[in-house]
């Protein structure tokens, strides 16, 4: 952590583009390329993490794209902006003309501003397709789907600033001490210092475990079972909030019956967690006035863990007050905003369902063009149809060629497209296949707004100039929109798009750019729009009945085949300057010994999907029966989420 150089506000202060925490920074006066923290609504004392300090350096690198490129005679060659934009528009238009608009897809843009995301989805929809999505959405899809369908909104229910009100923080499948460092150091650590208990649920020890007062390390894949056991034990120990359950939930009778039949000891045995540890955590939860869940990508194996966590919080009355709630920690800087602006195949701006005639009519009134009625393809589904029913893609600030599955398969899919237009800062595996590459300005080089992980909309200011001819994505999308659609894209500036978006999005109603610039506003807006909401669902959930329903949770666990280890994946990264990756496979001593594997030895990690080589790191952080790999190394092995692997010395 670094302290600010001083406490001056800065005209060139902007929001760090490297993660969803949303710290405020400005170029350092002394050292070129380095940032200094500026006290802001999130990093109130002006702290930055090491990545944030290096933000200008990482984005200002000599490798940046500085000129548009178009493919001529098989090679990408420098071109003027008008030529490149015409080529890009023509390529996309000819796909739509030759097939129909659903032969196009639009990927992006969790690194880009709200206004840029708004333009991207508007472009897709005014051309006639809902095939618009963003990859960052996928890393928290299960958690967000559970939140949206059961409570109302796809977002963290509470705020960083309220974490100090919690008695217990239940951190599940996340490593905020490393992945959201300023949030952890500024909000979680002080809360722990003041007596909040942190319970960490993770099969592996990580930096967050070191701050925990209890660690449950269940077998991977057994979280829903463990959390349901916590529900049953908390209920047994008087933890049910009867009046909350009566007034704000539905389906409790049936759910209570299922808990009464639940065998917590058996669950502890299946998850391989000491039953007394489970009991002690349940005691804490039952006795606490306020419990908040912080969840990360480790709950994404399916919907059951998220559903079980929501059941636990509903049962114990932990919604609608500061220091409670379900707080899924988003990753990329504007992942939340990309969702809010409508870069999703099933939702229009402001989370309006595409299949709702009233919502479509509202949008059509503003646009003068009807958005299509059927949900579009998710990014994954679209990639699977490349060369079959999808023939053109506009990719803004994403690198779909690197994915959680067979990378060579993906690269081959990209070559199946007849039109690929990529807007990015750098060359990548994806730009390699592009017909047109348009160089974008980075987050620290442009204006607009972004939304952080606790729903706070903040303003960007151009703190440094973009390199060469690179332009803000907003200008690029406006130009493409004007060429492909027409007048609906003639915005004077990004403020005009902000106004249009906030008119369409119920949760942003009345939000003004001046309030956003002055400390940020957390959606949903309250009163005249200049103030926001720290805690969602204080009075009611945003469901039809205003109540939240208990959900059935599947808790049966398939045993890993004998001799196989459950693969555990962590350190998922997104964004520039993700940091060095750990290329080792971490194994427990007993698992290494039974396979004749020594620490430091080269091993092969294999399943039906792929085989990768790695160096064995024996002992330490992983539990028996699991093999831990960094996401970049694990990728080819994880075609489905519950992968098991065989690990052997490379010499055998």
> What is the enclosing helix (H) or strand (E) of 516?
helix 513-517
Please state, in angstroms and rounded to a whole number, the distance separating the CA atoms of residues 167 and 159.
15
Number of H helices, E strands in the chain: 24, 28
Rule CB under 6 A: choose which of 402, 461, 495, 534 binds ligand MGD. 402
Q: Which of ligand SF4, Mo ion, ligand MGD, none interacts with 172 (beta carbon under 5 to 8 A by kind)?
A: ligand MGD
Rule CB under 6 A: choose which of 576, 604, 609, 611 binds ligand MGD. 576
DSSP classification of residue 582: P
Helix (H), strand (E), coil (C) string for 329-357: CCCCCCHHHHHHHCCECCEEHHHEECCCH
For the segment 192-221, give every residue that binds ligand MGD (CB under 6 A). Answer: 201-204, 206, 220-221
User: 139 vs 425, which CB is nearer to Mo ion?
Assistant: 139
Residue 609 burial (CB count, 10 A): 15
Rule CB under 6 A: choose which of 575, 610, 616, 637 binds ligand MGD. 575
Contact segment (CB under 6 A) with ligand SF4 among 21-29, 409-417, 437-445, 630-638 equals 21-29
Please state, in angstroms and rounded to a whole number, the distance separating the CA atoms of residues 278 and 281.
5
For the segment 48-77, give every residue that binds ligand SF4 (CB under 6 A). Answer: 48-49, 51-52
Under rule CB under 6 A, residue 69 binds ligand MGD:
no
Under rule CB under 6 A, residue 436 binds ligand MGD:
no
Is 35 exposed, middle or buried (CB count within 10 Å of its CB: 0-12, 13-18, 19+)?
Answer: buried
CB 217 within 8 A of CB 226: no
Minimal CB distance residue for Mo ion: 331
Apex 501 CA angle, 500 and 506, nearest 5: 115
For the segment 172-191, give every residue that binds ligand SF4 (CB under 6 A). Answer: 181-182
- Give the per-residue contact string, 137-176, with ligand SF4 (x = CB under 6 A; - = no): ----------------------------------------
User: 240 vs 395, which CB is nearer to ligand MGD?
Assistant: 395
Please state, in angstroms and rounded to a whole number, the distance separating the CA atoms of residues 590 and 480.
59
* Minimal distance, residue 88 CB to ligand SF4, in Å: 31
Rule CB under 6 A: choose which of 192, 211, 256, 578 binds ligand MGD. 578
Q: Which of Mo ion, ligand MGD, ligand SF4, none interacts with 481 (beta carbon under 5 to 8 A by kind)?
A: none
What separation in angstroms does the CA of 13 have from each of 20, 29, 443, 461, 494?
A: 17, 12, 12, 7, 18
Q: Which of 135, 108, 555, 551 is nearest to 326 (CA)?
A: 551
Measure CA 282 to chain center.
29
What is the distance in angstroms between the CA of the first residue and the CA of the last residue of the chain? 46
Rule CB under 6 A: choose which of 4, 10, 13, 16 binds ligand SF4. 16
Under rule CB under 6 A, residue 301 binds ligand MGD:
yes
Q: Which of 103, 94, 93, 97 is nearest to 389 (CA)?
A: 103
User: 59 vs 240, which CB is nearer to ligand MGD?
Assistant: 59
Can you read off the two tokens belonging to residue 322?
């500061």
- From start to end of 307-424, where are the E strands? 325-328, 347-348, 352-353, 392-396, 419-424
Pairing of strands 249-250, 548-549: parallel
Q: Which of 482, 497, 496 is nearest to 85 (CA)?
A: 482
Under rule CB under 6 A, residue 136 binds ligand MGD:
yes
Please state, in angstroms and rounded to a whole number, the distance separating the CA atoms of residues 480 and 311.
46
Under rule CB under 6 A, residue 19 binds ligand SF4:
yes
Pairing of strands 602-606, 611-618: antiparallel
Q: Which residues form the interface with Mo ion (CB under 5 A)?
A: 139, 331, 574
For the segment 241-300, give every residue that binds ligand MGD (CB under 6 A). Answer: 296-298
DSSP codes joined into one string, 118-142? HHHHHHHHHHT---EE-HHHHTTHH
Please state, in angstroms and rounded to a whole number, the distance separating the CA atoms of residues 415 and 301.
30
Q: Which of Mo ion, ligand SF4, ligand MGD, none interacts with 428 (beta carbon under 5 to 8 A by kind)?
A: ligand MGD
User: 331 vs 570, which CB is nearer to Mo ion?
Assistant: 331
Under rule CB under 6 A, residue 21 binds ligand SF4:
yes
User: 245 vs 417, which CB is nearer to ligand MGD?
Assistant: 417
> What is the enclosing helix (H) or strand (E) of 10?
none
State the Rg of the chain over Cα: 24
Apex 45 CA angle, 462 and 518, nearest 5: 45
- Give the per-residue contact string, 104-133, with ligand MGD (x = CB under 6 A; - = no): ------xxx---------------------
User: 139 vs 286, which CB is nearer to Mo ion?
Assistant: 139
* Minimal distance, residue 37 CB to ligand SF4, in Å: 7
* Minimal distance, residue 539 CB to ligand MGD, in Å: 31
Minimal CB distance residue for ligand SF4: 52
* Minimal distance, residue 24 CB to ligand SF4, in Å: 9
- Give the per-residue contact string, 526-565, with ligand MGD (x = CB under 6 A; - = no): ----------------------------------------
What separation in angstroms does the CA of 124 have from each of 133, 345, 394?
A: 10, 10, 9
Under rule CB under 6 A, residue 635 binds ligand MGD:
yes
Please state, in angstroms and rounded to a whole number, the distance separating the CA atoms of residues 200 and 143.
17
Where do contacts with ligand SF4 occur on this chain (CB under 6 A)? 16, 18-19, 21-23, 48-49, 51-52, 181-182
Where do contacts with ligand MGD occur on this chain (CB under 6 A)? 19, 51, 110-112, 135-136, 139, 172-176, 179-180, 201-204, 206, 220-221, 223, 296-298, 301, 331-332, 396-399, 402-404, 423-426, 428, 440, 442-443, 473, 568-576, 578-579, 631-632, 635
């Amino acid at each position: 952590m670094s302290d600010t150089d001083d406490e001056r506000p800065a005209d060139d202060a902007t929001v760090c583009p490297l993660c969803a925490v949303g710290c405020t920074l400005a170029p350092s006066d002394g050292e070129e390329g380095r940032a200094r923290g500026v006290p802001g609504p999130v990093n109130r004392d002006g702290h930055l993490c090491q990545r944030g300090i290096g933000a200008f350096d990482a984005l200002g690198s000599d490798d940046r794209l500085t000129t548009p490129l178009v493919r001529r005679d098989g090679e990408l060659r420098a071109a003027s902006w008008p030529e490149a934009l015409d080529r890009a528009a023509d390529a996309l238009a000819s796909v739509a003309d030759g097939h129909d608009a659903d032969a196009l897809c639009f990927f992006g843009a969790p690194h880009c501003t709200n206004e840029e995301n708004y333009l991207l989805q508007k472009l897709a929809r005014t051309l006639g397709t809902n095939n618009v999505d963003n990859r960052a959405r996928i890393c928290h899809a299960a958690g967000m789907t559970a939140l949206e369908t059961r409570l109302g909104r796809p977002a963290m229910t509470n705020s960083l600033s309220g974490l100090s009100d919690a008695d217990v923080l239940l951190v599940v499948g996340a490593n905020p001490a490393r992945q959201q460092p300023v949030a952890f150091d500024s909000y979680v650590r002080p809360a722990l210092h003041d007596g909040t208990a942190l319970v960490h649920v993770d099969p592996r020890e990580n930096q967050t475990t070191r701050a925990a007062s209890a660690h449950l390390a269940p077998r991977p894949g057994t979280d829903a079972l463990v959390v349901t056991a916590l529900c049953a034990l908390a209920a047994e120990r008087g933890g049910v909030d009867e009046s909350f359950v009566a007034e704000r939930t539905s389906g409790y009778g049936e759910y209570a019956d299922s808990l009464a039949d639940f065998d917590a000891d058996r669950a502890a045995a299946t998850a391989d967690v000491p039953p007394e540890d489970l009991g002690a955590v349940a005691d804490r939860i039952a006795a606490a006035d306020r419990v908040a869940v912080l969840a990360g990508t480790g709950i994404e194996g399916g919907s059951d863990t998220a559903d079980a966590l929501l059941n636990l919080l509903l049962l114990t009355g932990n919604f609608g007050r500061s220091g409670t709630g379900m707080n899924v920690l988003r990753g990329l800087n504007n992942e939340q905003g990309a969702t809010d602006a409508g870069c999703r195949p099933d939702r229009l701006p402001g989370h309006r369902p595409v299949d709702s005639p009233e919502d479509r009519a509202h949008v059509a009134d503003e646009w003068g063009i009807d958005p299509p009625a059927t949900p579009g393809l998710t990014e994954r589904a679209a990639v699977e149809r490349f060369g079959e029913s999808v023939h053109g893609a506009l990719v803004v600030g994403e690198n779909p060629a690197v994915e959680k599955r067979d990378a060579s398969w993906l690269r081959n899919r990209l070559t199946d497209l007849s039109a690929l237009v990529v807007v990015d800062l750098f060359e990548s595996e994806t730009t390699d296949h592009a017909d047109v590459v348009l160089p974008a300005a980075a987050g620290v080089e442009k204006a607009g707004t972004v939304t952080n992980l606790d729903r706070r909309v903040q303003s960007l200011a151009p703190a440094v100039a973009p390199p060469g001819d690179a332009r803000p994505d907003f200008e690029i999308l406006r130009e493409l929109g004007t060429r492909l659609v027409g007048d609906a894209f003639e915005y004077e500036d990004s403020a005009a798009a902000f106004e249009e978006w906030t008119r369409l999005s119920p949760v942003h109603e009345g939000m003004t750019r001046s309030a956003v610039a002055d400390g940020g506003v957390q959606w949903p807006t309250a009163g005249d729009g200049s103030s926001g909401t720290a805690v969602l669902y204080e009075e009611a959930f945003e469901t039809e009945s205003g109540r939240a329903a208990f959900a059935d949770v599947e808790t049966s666990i398939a045993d890993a085949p004998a001799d196989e280890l459950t693969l555990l994946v962590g350190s998922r990264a997104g964004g520039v300057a993700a940091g060095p990756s750990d290329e080792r496979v971490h194994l427990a001593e007993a698992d290494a010994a039974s396979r004749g594997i020594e620490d430091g030895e080269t091993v092969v990690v294999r399943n039906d999907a792929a085989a990768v080589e790695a160096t064995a790191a024996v002992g330490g952080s992983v539990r028996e029966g699991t093999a831990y790999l960094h996401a970049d190394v694990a990728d080819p092995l994880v075609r489905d989420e519950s992968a098991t692997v065989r690990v052997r010395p490379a010499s055998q």
